Structure 1
């Protein structure tokens, strides 16, 4: 009887090791390997906040992380990263001629859910906004975005898809003023125009429109007193009062959409022209579709 119990225990242990443990261990190994895929040939510090220059040096084993397909960083961030940002703020206060280039990354498999040219650019802009919330001037930053097909991940979290580089800039006040005035003129000459289907307020941006959003944000970052104006327009179908209200709803929707993408809401003014300023003939379907629009300019 005792021998039978012993044999049962031995056989059970053998079967467990063979069919349960080995299987789960293999699956765990595969999952870990897939989630930690990284471009071994890259010289970027993919998972660290690193700044190395002659004047400022800081590195920590932390960085901003993002969920897959998202452009909002996961908060709160680590204490060591916040300490690095605080140290950088003190350095910038003593060295106003410094700028920080923030480069965000995304993979080509991720969906760009932002209003920017690519998801990497949107991530860089979100990180910039965090720095601004810590007391930095928005004009202290340049942002860019790149697509890299291999990145370090943990499940659905993109680990540290942000890179940093210090830049020294010493523009004269005259040159700076002329540059931004010229940029404002260029932006307003061909403003960001968002089109809507009848009775709808959804926005589906083209590549050209996404670049215009990036240009608007860059201008706002560097001209502190600038504001945006969003004016809603409609076709002439239906009651004028209702159309005027619909135009304002579209302008408000555009404002909220830009705010969701990191533009300060208090820097966007909204208004409606309803059906009063058509740019095309309302007698045709094509003309009506052109008149259902919101125009975003710099005030």
Structure 2
């Protein structure tokens, strides 16, 4: 395998945040250990948000502290504001994912402010945290909005015009929040963004599989030069502020697709499938994906494909 991609595991944040029954913290830590054991390194372990808004995320500081005892894990936490970003940095988070939405309606529904106000918050956060803290910029509704529908590329690019110069070296992730993007749209937007912002060298894609196009959209982003992809084990997840947008693209599905294409992910599918099965069985979870069930029914397929 001469080509490689990085898969960022977001299940412990995106996959769990909408689950009602609280998952015990020791159970979460055990999942983190097992995910690392399957070859995943960068894991979005949770978010620093209001516990009343997302009760499942209330133990993120404890999970962050536990990561110090998990060799090889690279923990990432999601933050929606300067205040929460400061809290995460003070708690020792080595990597922050700052999120804002392209569309006014989704951003106000999500963080109670306009995209312009969130952009100002982003700049203030960067000025406040230590330079060693890694930053990812997540643009939600970059392709489609649950309230406004399809988002024109010009709107996403215009927001990037404001955000990229603040820290050009930040990783930029364009997010298909609703799962309604299509491969042509994904490929076109990434090509346009990479051409317009040559100073931004690291791009990522966050796909949902709500309408069954998650893998196709990832493939399109890869064809446009993207090499970092978010995924959730067992296909768990969805945005609680985007009605119907359940189902992140499954980590095991991405690992299978890229492996069949001869592209290395560093993931041991034979080790990941049992973790995904247990994730799919969590009470209140909404699992997705196909490879988990296929390989559970025929485990030899994994070895035969050379993906162990």
TM-score range for the pair, normalised by the shorter chain length? under 0.3
State TM-score, norm by structure 2.
0.23
State TM-score, norm by structure 1.
0.23
